[in-house]
Amino acid sequence: MMQFYKKREFGSFISDSFNFFKLYGKNYFKSYLLINGLVLILMVAVAIFGYKEIFAQIFASNLGGESYYFEQYFSDNAGMLIGIGLLTFLLLMILMIISYLYPVFYLKRIAQGAEKVKTDEILSDFKKNAGKIAKLCIGLTFIVAPLAFFVIGFSYILIFLIIGIFLIFLIYPTIFNAVTFLMYDYFNSDRKFFESLSYSIRSQFSYPNGREKSPYWKYWGGSIVMITIISIISSIFTYIPLIFFYGSVLTSTPDGKFEENPFTGALGLIFFVFYGISMLLSFILSNLMYVNAGLMYYDSRTDLHQKVELAEIDTIGINE
């Protein structure tokens, strides 16, 4: 059985994240796919067929130099395009809620001593916390997201001063960790939204007792490693369709017009099938990041480390 509430170093976050899936992976992904599978399939289907059609029409406007072809297509099919956009947004919101909160509820049950977690137990957690989930979504949409976009946008402006590149490299993992800590803390403590938000930010830079060195770099480093691993694996399926795409570009005429639309027929289908697989793989692999961030959160809760250790000692005494 894995211990969650304990102090970890940088390397332990990575190794324990993979060890978590070694111990609980089969049970974890079984429930994850049962809960999230239909939404994932619909999302991939929209990406393959919906966006294939849109991109095909965009490129079609270049084939004969008809600059207003896509504008006409949009006006004739505005309802369909808006529908696809709204469906994509709705599916993405559902995916984000489930993908972020599923590991929160799963790790919470395992940390409390469960050896396996049933699907209906996770669904029960979602239903029981429906009110808090709604408040979380509102807070993320109207408070956290605008602040995050402002910080990221300001960093992009500073790219012209070179320092912005360094700041973006620091800010992305930090924001991801803070948002994930917010979700873990909101559902693992009695704190309210703003209290959990405050904790999630403060805990990136210091432990609650204030006596130990800042955990910032090990949290940042752990996220960077996981983001890199996931990006490399996902990019394999992204580069394959790009090879097909650029192959079609090389067959274009000297005047820059395509001889045939690269997004129609078998070529377009292959492009978006691989794109859909890449998207699906990214969502599944992102669980590595969420579990990794969860272990960081449990590392930050030094107020509970000693309590858990004492409880384990008492359990050993009873068993003996």
- Other CB atoms within a 10 A radius of the CB of residue 108 amount to 18
Contact criterion met (CB below 8 Å) for 14 and 100? no
Distance CA 222, CA 15 (A): 10
Cβ atoms of residues 18 and 317 within 8 Å = no
Give the DSSP H/E element, type plus range, for residue 206.
none
Q: What is the reported pLDDT for 319?
A: 47
Local structure of residue 159 (DSSP, 8 states): G
- The confidence score (pLDDT) of residue 240 equals 66
Most confident of 30-39, 82-91, 142-151, 177-186: 177-186
What are the structural domain ranges in the chain?
10-319
Q: Is 3 left (phi over 0), alpha (psi -120 to 50) or beta?
A: beta
Lowest mean pLDDT among 25-39, 127-141, 150-164, 221-235: 150-164
Hey, which of 5-14, 77-86, 271-280 has the most confident mean pLDDT? 5-14
Categorize the per-residue pLDDT at 317 as very low, low, confident or very high, splitting at 50, 70 and 90.
very low
Does 60 score more than 50 pLDDT?
yes
**CA distance linking residue 146 with residue 66, whole number of Å:** 39
- Residues 6 or more apart whose Cβ sits within 8 Å of residue 71: none
* Phi, psi dihedrals of residue 20, rounded to the nearest 5°: -60, -45
163-188 vs 265-300: helix crossing angle, rounded to 10: 70
Note the pTM of the prediction, 2 decimals. Answer: 0.83
Sequence-distant (≥ 6) Cβ neighbours of residue 42 within 8 angstroms: 91
Q: What are 275's two structure tokens?
A: 């794109």
CA gap 287, 282 in Å, rounded: 9
Tell me the helix, strand and coil percentages in the chain, rounded to 5.
Answer: 80, 0, 20
pLDDT value of position 209: 72
Provide the pLDDT confidence category of residue 309 given band limits of 50, 70 and 90: low
Q: At residue 87, does pLDDT exceed 90?
A: no
